[in-house]
Amino acid sequence: MYEPITIKDIAKALGLSTSTVSRALRGSYEISAETKKLVVEYAEQFNYRPNPIALSLKERRSRSIAVVVCEIANNYFSQAINGIESVAYNRGYHVIISQSHESYEREIVNVEHLASRSVDGLLVSLSAETNQFDHYKNLHEKGFPIVFFDRITDEIETHKVVADNYQGAYNVTKHLINAGYKKIAHLTSAAHLSISIERLEGYKAALRDNKIPFNDKYVKNCNHGGMIYNEQEDAIKSLLNLKDKPDAIFSGGDKLTVSCLAVLNELKVKVPDEVALAGFSNSPLVELMKPGLTVVKQPAFEMGQTATELLIKLIESKRPVTEFEKIVLQTEVFERESSAKKKPKKK
């Protein structure tokens, strides 16, 4: 129904061979000026565009890369994608975005489709459900270019780009401690994710350095990234219902911080008077949401850029790469002035 013009059409119309037309179009020198002009003008007039599919088939590359993330409705990821696009665009690559919605199965389906040769490389941040990497291993062993960012795995040896989650978590927790909080809960993503592990370690270290005992009842995981009924809400409620109720919550992750605010608001819990809040977030709004909210911001855009540069390097390298980099970018902590004063309760 929609029949675009091809080289063959041009050749027929002009009484030339397809190869001549092809050469004229790509500006080959071994062609007479007049034939070239003829062809180019005809192509122009009929708005000829080379068929990228045919090109991909021929060149065995698509000049496109795919990003696999859990959700684009997450400030961290949408910012990372902007970084990815900025580099890809400059290097002549198209970017295909696909969402796993935190589902292992969906992640597999997407990766299968994309990797089976419609993209030249993969930029992956693992879904919350994923704890099995055979699929990536297969691809990687065959030499298919993959770069992990943010939620990575140690089981695959390739380039990786992460934020310094340990330090970020350490810093927020310390800020809460400095502000006078002692019963600090930690609401985080699935326990096995790299980001969860690193953040938990940072949190524990900050407690330890300040002689605050670690209480594992204070750690709640949202294993499905909040994709399942009211996972976050339940987690928060169960924290608030503890006999020894926490006086602060450190939330790991943009979406968790956002839901935390939403749920606490809905429950009419005063922040920070009843429970203080601090956490990872890249939301442009979070900073100004509540006075007293300390926020760790990930260098999302830069992470996207860096990961893309590494991926393209991988794609364009002639021989198999054996040396892989792991790049750790620093997070930034924004402490709101007012968070320093905790209302003296039993002092």
Partner DNA sequence: TTGTAAGCGTTATCAT
Partner DNA sequence: ATGATAACGCTTACAA
Residues found near DNA in the complex (CB under 7 A) = 6-8, 15-20, 22-23, 25-26, 29-32, 34-36, 49-51, 54-55, 57-58, 60
In the list 20, 99, 153, 339, the residue contacting a copy of itself (rule: CB under 8 A) is 99
Neighbour tally for 85: CB within 10 Å? 18
Dist. CA 125–CA 204, nearest whole Å? 25
**How far is Cα 279 from Cα 168, in angstroms, rounded to an integer?**
9
Q: Which of 262, 269, 327, 328 binds a copy of itself (CB under 8 A)?
A: 262
Pick what 229 binds: DNA, a copy of itself, none; C-beta below 5 to 8 Å, kind-dependent.
none
Q: Which does 26 bind (CB under 5 to 8 A by kind): a copy of itself, DNA, none?
A: DNA
Q: Which of DNA, a copy of itself, none interacts with 32 (beta carbon under 5 to 8 A by kind)?
A: DNA
| DSSP assigned state of 343 | P
Contact (Cβ atoms closer than 8 angstroms) between residue 187 and residue 235? yes
- Please choose, out of 114-122, 163-171, 208-216, 332-340, the segment that lies near a copy of itself by the rule CB under 8 A: 114-122
Task: Name the CA dihedral angle for 298, 74, 188, 330, rounded to a multiple of 10 degrees.
Answer: -10
Q: Is 267 in the site for a copy of itself (CB under 8 A)?
A: no
Buried b (16+ CB within 10 A) or exposed e, 215-241: eeebbbbbbbbbbeeebbbebbeebbe
Which region among 159-167, 175-183, 262-270, 339-347 touches a copy of itself (by CB under 8 A)? 262-270
Instruction: Count CB-CB contacts under 10 A for residue 117.
Output: 13
Residue 49 binds a copy of itself, judged by CB under 8 A:
yes
- CB–CB of 285/101 below 8 Å? no
For residue 105, state whether it binds a copy of itself (rule: CB under 8 A): no
Residues, the chain: 347
- Applying CB under 8 A, the residues found at the interface with a copy of itself are 1-4, 47, 49-54, 56-57, 62, 72-73, 75, 78-79, 81-82, 85, 94-99, 112-113, 116-118, 138, 142-145, 258-259, 261-262, 265-266, 283-289, 319-320
